[in-house]
Amino acid sequence: MRIYVDADACPVKDEIYRVAQRHRWPVSVVAGGYIRIPDDPGIERIAAGSGMDAADDWIAERAGKGDIVVTFDIPLASRCVKAGADVIAPNGKAYTEDSIGMALAVRNLMTDLRSGGEVTGGPRGFTPRDRSTFLSTLDQAIRRMARTQPTP
């Protein structure tokens, strides 16, 4: 039972640290290179390397049932959902086996539109409500897992 954070562009790292500490869950903060983390034995920093998708590959190779992955990256979310992990976007959206296929299809469609010169406007801005929704979703996921698995 671990929380894996795709950290390069994650706006809720501080919130993850607080929730993980409260529930005594270990956290792996994974980035392409060096990233600053709190001095806490429950939080480990992983510099996965500068290669394309190195951080995503590192997380996907380890995440599985009983783990939580926090990422905005849809292909990474898909890989982790298939491995049995709970996946939550920093805006609080939970990805499941039922929802990841559509999310991946929309992502691929938008990528194709942008590569064809279409102006799609990009993602909407991150809001305080997103932060609140994320905290609630993360807390619910940890509590649900605590009921079904032994404490780490």
The residue segments making up the domain with residue 62 are 3-148
Reply yes or no on whether the pLDDT at 54 is more than 90. yes
Q: What is the mean pLDDT of residues 111-139?
A: 82
Q: Count other C-beta atoms under 10 Å from residue 90's C-beta.
A: 23
pLDDT tens figures, 83-108: 999 999 999 999 998 887 777 877 66
> For the domain that residue 92 is a member of, what is the CATH number?
3.40.50
How far is CA 115 from its chain centroid? Answer: 26
Amino acid at 10: C
The one-letter amino acid code at 122 reads: G
Residue 19 corresponds to which tokens in the numbers above? 């929730």
How do 27-31 and 68-70 pair as beta strands?
Answer: unpaired
Q: What pLDDT shows up at residue 152?
A: 47
The yes-or-no verdict on residue 124 having pLDDT over 80 is no
Q: Using alpha carbons, select from 51, 66, 58, 64 the residue that is nearest to residue 7.
A: 58
Q: Which of 13-17, 130-134, 142-146 has the lowest mean pLDDT?
A: 142-146
Q: Give me the number of domains the chain comprises.
A: 1
